[in-house]
């Protein structure tokens, strides 16, 4: 996990959006598999935001997975999309 988190920071600093999205997704999936949906959600949400910005082909699949996590964990607010996120 430490390696992924270091990569996340590096890719974000470099502006490597596709790589940042992939790393965020991997971190989110690890948290999801561990049952920690509250930690998984922000990484998955960041992936969806990047997918939207770059037109990533996995956008719809990633969005559906994020919505499932939000529905499964009542402590996580429903994903409203980039332009509809609550402030």
- pLDDT tens for 26-79 read 999 999 999 999 999 999 999 999 999 999 999 999 999 999 998 887 665 555
Q: How many residues does the chain have?
A: 87
Question: Long-range contact list for 69-77, CB < 8 A, 24+ apart?
Answer: 69/28, 69/32, 69/37, 69/40, 69/41, 69/44, 70/41, 72/37, 73/37, 73/38, 73/41, 75/37, 75/38, 76/37, 76/38, 76/41
What is the separation of C-alpha 14 from the centre of its chain, rounded to a whole number of angstroms?
A: 18
Q: What is the CATH architecture assignment of 2-72?
A: Alpha Horseshoe (1.25)
pLDDT score, position 84: 39
pLDDT band for 87, please (50, 70, 90 cuts): very low
């Amino acid at each position: 996990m430490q390696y992924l988190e270091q990569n996340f920071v590096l890719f974000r600093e470099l502006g490597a959006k596709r790589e940042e999205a992939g790393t965020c997704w991997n971190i989110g999936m690890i948290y999801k598999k561990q049952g920690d949906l509250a930690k998984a959600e922000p990484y998955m949400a960041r992936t969806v935001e990047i997918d939207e910005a770059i037109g990533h082909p996995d956008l719809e699949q990633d969005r559906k997975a994020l919505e499932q996590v939000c529905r499964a964990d009542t402590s996580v607010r429903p994903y409203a999309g980039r332009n509809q996120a609550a402030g």
